[in-house]
Amino acid sequence: MRSELAIYDLAAGAVRSVLTTDRLIEAPNWTPDGSALIVNGDGRLFRVALAGEAAMREIDTGFAKKCNNDHGVSPDGREIVISDGSENGQSCIYVLPIDGGTPRKVTPLTPSYWHGWSPDGATLAYCAQRAGVFDIYVCPAKGGAETRLTDGKGHADGPDYTPDGRWIWFNSSRSGSAQLWRMRADGAGLEQMTHDERVNWFPHPSPDGAHVLYLAYETGVDGHPRDKHCELRLMGAAGGGHRTLVSLFGGQGTINVPCWAPDSKSFAFVRYEREG
């Protein structure tokens, strides 16, 4: 399996390859200054500069050596949030300095998988399994008690904030197969935003508030596996119709976390190529 880290330019409608590697890499984030992408691979985090040589430079995550594909950069660009299973084998959420350092635990409850940081930097949104059910939770970024926002109907995952902080988009199987939903930041005002035959995951509102990018699996796919034929689709911020931007071989790892460029003109993703 080969991984390709790529950027899609909305105006040009074109894909630019950043790098390819025999390592399994996943889940690109764009740094707020627009200078680099951050990906995970083999339990580590890497920075890929977008100027000069496209090389993967490891970020020091201290004891956290089992980072999964749920990570991201704080709105002010000073910190990284990671989801890591080094301490007890289950994913736990930590925050550390953007250039690396010792992770600080945000919530001791596991398993927890980070997905969204509120625009004001105060709150983290994440998917967590409690009593066998996956729901959407929030907690203070500095640590503290968590609050459950969804009600245990179906599998809820992938929460990401709109740039005004008013809405959280996510995917849920509460109506059958996974579709996109949104709710107010406090969990009120639940709305289903897609109603089609696809299995839709990981919605990401653009920083300018105009669009939502998401991953669409083929009908019948269960969960969010890797190694599937799928599409990257774009819809308006208020819902409605969509357009397909890229058809690819991917899924898990392609856009698990926020991946828009700060100027909303492009986004990063990972696609895969089978060997042989």
pLDDT, the chain, mean: 96
The model's pLDDT over 27-64, given as tens digits with 9 standing for 90+, comes to 999 999 999 999 999 999 999 999 988 899 999 999 99
Structure tokens at 150: 């969804």
- Average pLDDT of the segment spanning 131-158: 96
Higher pLDDT, 275 or 190: 190
How is the chain split into domains, by residue range? 2-273
Model pLDDT, residue 54: 82
Pairwise CA distance, residues 257 & 187, whole Å: 20
> Cβ contacts of residue 53 below 8 Å, gap of 6+?
none
- Average pLDDT of the segment spanning 106-111: 95
Nearest to 155 by CA among 175, 140, 172, 137: 172
Pairwise CA distance, residues 28 & 18, whole Å: 11
User: Is there a cis peptide before residue 111, judged by omega within 30 degrees of 0?
Assistant: yes
Which residue carries 């740094």 as its tokens?
31
Which residue carries 């990981």 as its tokens?
202
| % of the chain beyond a pLDDT of 90 | 96
> Cβ contacts of residue 161 below 8 Å, gap of 6+?
116, 117, 118, 119, 125, 167, 168, 169, 185, 205
Indicate whether 274 pLDDT > 80. no
**Is 195 exposed, middle or buried (CB count within 10 Å of its CB: 0-12, 13-18, 19+)?**
exposed
Q: What is the CATH number of domain 2-273?
A: 2.120.10.30
- Average pLDDT of the segment spanning 59-80: 98
Beta bridge partners of 157: 171
> Cβ contacts of residue 194 below 8 Å, gap of 6+?
179, 180, 200, 214, 235, 239, 242
**Is 53 exposed, middle or buried (CB count within 10 Å of its CB: 0-12, 13-18, 19+)?**
exposed
Model pLDDT, residue 1: 77
Model pLDDT, residue 152: 86
Model pLDDT, residue 59: 98
Indicate whether 275 pLDDT > 80. no
